[in-house]
Chains A and B, each alone.
Chain A
């Protein structure tokens, strides 16, 4: 193993990690807002990837141009899912935790079934896009352009999210609802509206991630499942309740995955991520930046 291979895989691990952070951002945002883990998060990603694929195949729209449209569509989708399903799950007086897990998990199964029904289980891919298959070489390190774009989008999205939460009225309403959902009602903030917008925003973030992922990854009904677990681990590693913890944890997860793949057979690369998660929570039971 030469120093070059190590630098090379650290670099691609970093890029993938930034993308993992972006995938996890929506999950972290929703959890931070209302203590709900969305077990259909991977399926939101799947929907975004299909949307990107169809915009490409019907309108020849490049994924980069499609990304804002997909994010907007997912915003609406997320808000609708909140209003149709999650809102009722929040009302459960008994077993609230299990109701949330299993109502969103049931939703995930329905979405996978619908994807199979309408799009068939076939693997699809975007064959030629502006960035697909291209690499650049920076100081002797080869970097795939789609992942590079994903990393840039991730950094931009987190920066925008930071500005949004700290400097806009809605962001403040979001923070206030997070602090005390009962008290905000007294100052005239509609809790349900904030939650719906939170779900919309969370879904829009995973929409961005999905549009980028569709450039270099196959699109199929179960695609979300493989990334959902990484997203859960990322959010927990960063600490539930901390959106920017998810950003840092995403980078760690990407780097650990790349390093594990160097040492162990590639099929075991996730074991490194799992081990690091367990190690961190055994020492810090609330993750790296958890606030709960």
Chain B
């Protein structure tokens, strides 16, 4: 029985390599900046949603406050660079570590909560972070931070002319998030998380350290999310609290995984590939009127997919397939 799971994992890895290579070649044929922009966002959301999926999908601790870690990543990078001249690469790492530590500090009291009490705690904590940043003058308060651009530089990870470097970084990020998930799926942690998700009490009685499992998932998930936030800050070169820490962001991060298939390896990728281009296209082709038609289309889609495919769009591809081994 184990061999089928091992086979599937090998197939997944080969598929991922093929997709990554194909994606890397796309910019050779697609020169349109608008399309490239959509591709960067798609890859970024694939990475973010994959990170969210580790805590909420695999470990079952539904977080609707991941905007906090995204924002912390963005702010750490931007503040270190603009105030102290620290290169974004180090800022990125610092943002990841800070977010992981904060996730564990918050997890300590929060992981005792269950169900909606936990979900609302995550929302409320992220909103508190948002309000604090909006009132923190040193960090630019509600106006935010403008990251000065001095031409193209890999060292400072900023590019004025071409989107391509951002594209390749986002691709690398999506690949790393995927690989981490792939690797964790078959590790001790992966089995623990699924046990915690299915039945925490039974898992505890079988010797799974439920609390540590949740803490581990939170740390990995927050670290990767913060890296995504750091990337976003460099990509848009301007951040303010609302645009990196707002509640909408927490939902946008969760949505690809939910639409694609929560708690699955490919769900977040599939969800992002379907959802993000669609969001961007409806926004620019019908949203231009400012009359909310884009919202109507987007919202209806979410309702329809979540009602028609509760297990996610991934269910269309794997008939009768049972997901990861238990």
Say yes or no for A2: interface residue by CB 8 A criterion: no
| With A268-B135, A285-B117: A109-B302 Cβ-Cβ less than 8 Å | yes
Q: Tell me, in angstroms, the Cα distance from A292 to B113 when the chains sit together.
A: 13
Q: Tell me, in angstroms, the Cα distance from A117 to B287 when the chains sit together.
A: 11
| With A106-B306, A271-B128, A274-B124: A240-B117 Cβ-Cβ less than 8 Å | yes
Q: Tell me, in angstroms, the Cα distance from A88 to B114 when the chains sit together.
A: 25
Q: Beta-carbon contacts of A257-292 to B below 8 Å, as 1s and 0s?
A: 000000001011011001101100110011100001
| With A105-B251, A106-B299, A116-B292: A96-B134 Cβ-Cβ less than 8 Å | no
- Candidates B112, B123, B127, B295; contact of A282 at CB < 8 Å: B112
- Candidates A89, A114, A116, A292; contact of B306 at CB < 8 Å: A89
Q: How far is the CB of B122 from chain A (nearest CB, A)?
A: 11
Contacts of A120 in B (CB 8 A): 291
A268, B307: Cβ atoms closer than 8 Å: no
Q: Beta-carbon contacts of A89-116 to B below 8 Å, as 1s and 0s?
A: 1001111111101110111111111111
Say yes or no for B298: interface residue by CB 8 A criterion: yes
Q: Which residues of B15-62 have CB atoms within 8 Å of chain A's CB atoms?
A: 62
Q: How far is the CB of B266 from chain A (nearest CB, A)?
A: 16
Contacts of A287 in B (CB 8 A): 117
A278, B121: Cβ atoms closer than 8 Å: yes
Say yes or no for B262: interface residue by CB 8 A criterion: yes
Q: Tell me, in angstroms, the Cα distance from A112 to B123 when the chains sit together.
A: 21
- Candidates A93, A98, A113, A232; contact of B292 at CB < 8 Å: A113
Which residue in chain A gives the minimum CB-CB distance to B310?
Answer: A92
B310, A221: Cβ atoms closer than 8 Å: no
Which residue in chain B gives the minimum CB-CB distance to A264?
Answer: B135
B117, A110: Cβ atoms closer than 8 Å: no
Say yes or no for A37: interface residue by CB 8 A criterion: yes
- Candidates A31, A110, A232; contact of B296 at CB < 8 Å: A110
Q: Tell me, in angstroms, the Cα distance from A120 to B297 when the chains sit together.
A: 17
| With A93-B310, A113-B293: A98-B303 Cβ-Cβ less than 8 Å | no
Say yes or no for B186: interface residue by CB 8 A criterion: no
Residues on A lying within 8 angstroms of B by beta carbon are 31, 37, 85, 88-89, 92-99, 101-103, 105-117, 120-121, 221, 229, 232-233, 236, 240, 265, 267-268, 270-271, 274-275, 277-278, 281-282, 285-287, 292
7 closest A-B pairs by beta carbon, nearest first, are A116-B292, A113-B295, A106-B302, A109-B299, A110-B299, A92-B310, A113-B296
15 extra A-B contacts, CB within 8 A, seeds A94-B310, A109-B298, A236-B120: A85-B303, A89-B306, A92-B310, A95-B310, A98-B306, A102-B302, A105-B302, A108-B299, A113-B293, A113-B299, A236-B117, A240-B115, A274-B127, A278-B124, A282-B112
